[in-house]
Amino acid sequence: MTVEARDRKILWARSHNACAICRQPLVLNATETDRESVVGDEAHIVAQSGGGPRAGLIPVSELDKYDNLILLCKVHHKQVDDQPMFFTAERLRRLKADHEQWAAQKFEAPATEDIRQSNNRTAGVGVKVSGRDAAAIDWDPQQSARGNPTGGYVTFEGHQGIYWVLVGILLLMAALAATGVIVGDAAWRIACVVFIAIDVALIIGFWGLAMQPVRLEVGVAGVQTFFPKNSAWMPWDLIDRIDVTRIDGNLGLAAWSRHADAYPTAGEEGMGAHYVPSLGAVTLCPLGPLRAGRREVVRALQFYGQNRCA
């Protein structure tokens, strides 16, 4: 059996000529001397051959249908075939569905666009403007919606227990200081009031970290960090290099990119992803609040990072 032209057209159109995992374009432009180059494959989710990856899960008559096909680049086609235990049929179907939904939202013309007019010009894609250099590309550096497709990322959760302990200790100290306000002399009362004000500010900060701990996600599409008050999103195609390094004495995840200064500096942002001029990189996430060590994070960067992490 072979893939019918109708199924092939639907697959390429709904995938927008991009890999369902890394979302890189699969048709390269022609040069002055050569024609366009196709660098993607119409991969089977359930293999055609009996001994192939994920084989035998559907009837033979369904193998070459659109529902059993996924558009992949050469690298990820080999990966999903070499790692069938991780890339199960269900996971690949979710990746395909998420990718096609992403493509539809990203490239769909506005609903009010007149079809007759759109035939005579290219429909524009809305650009999210955020940060100093983000206006030229379709990218929101502080995107809060998950950027990686379902099943295509690994999560590193932040500590919670330690922050609840700190909140408890600070509450106890605030109660003791309140007692000093009641029974102490004037100077002692003033000192206790100042202490309580600082203590309450710390309680609010640690309470926020306990309720919404820092979370780092490394996936097929990029790196994303969720902080209590904001988020940070960096797609792989905008990252030149990424690594875990020491920043101001603390381990953190740093990404070198021509768009790094789209993020605010530490003084402008406080806690969260920020641009470090001396490093020429953006600090996407500190490792201190995470329950994972440097080795685990680096391993994820090497697995998903497309050779951007040494």
Q: pLDDT class for 147, splitting at 50, 70, 90?
A: confident
pLDDT value for 34: 85
Whole-prediction pTM:
0.49
Per-residue pLDDT band for 195 (boundaries 50, 70, 90) equals: confident
Q: Across all residues in the chain, what is the average pLDDT?
A: 80
CA gap 148, 189 in Å, rounded: 53
DSSP assignment of the chain: ----HHHHHHHHHHHTTB-TTT--BSEEPP-SSS--EE-EEEEESS-SSTTSTTTTSS-GGGTTSGGGEEEEEHHHHHHHHH-TTTS-HHHHHHHHHHHHHHHHHHHPPPTT--HHHHTTSPPP------SSSGGGSS--TT--S--SPTTSEEEEEBP-HHHHHHHHHHHHHHHHHHHHHHHS-HHHHHHHHHHHHHHHHHHHHHHHHHHS--EEEEESSEEEEE-SS-EEEEEGGG-SEEEEEEETTEEEEEEE-TTGGGSPBHHHHSSS-EEETTTTEEEEEESTTBSS-HHHHHHHHHHHSTT---
Greater model confidence, 272 or 66: 66
pLDDT of residue 161: 63
Residue pair 306/76 in contact by the 8 Å Cβ criterion: no
- Is 298 or 170 the better-scoring residue by pLDDT? 298
Give the model confidence (pLDDT) of 32-50 as tens digits. 888 888 888 999 999 988 8
8-27: per-residue pLDDT in tens?
889 998 988 889 988 888 88
As a whole number, mean pLDDT of residues 261-272 equals 70
Q: What pLDDT score does 133 carry?
A: 46
Would you kindly state where each structural domain of the chain is located, as residue ranges? Answer: 5-29+36-112, 161-211, 215-304
- pLDDT tens for 78-109 read 999 999 898 898 889 988 988 888 888 776 64
Which one is predicted more confidently, 270 or 113? 270
- Summarize pLDDT for 291-306 with one digit per residue, the tens: 888 899 999 998 888 7
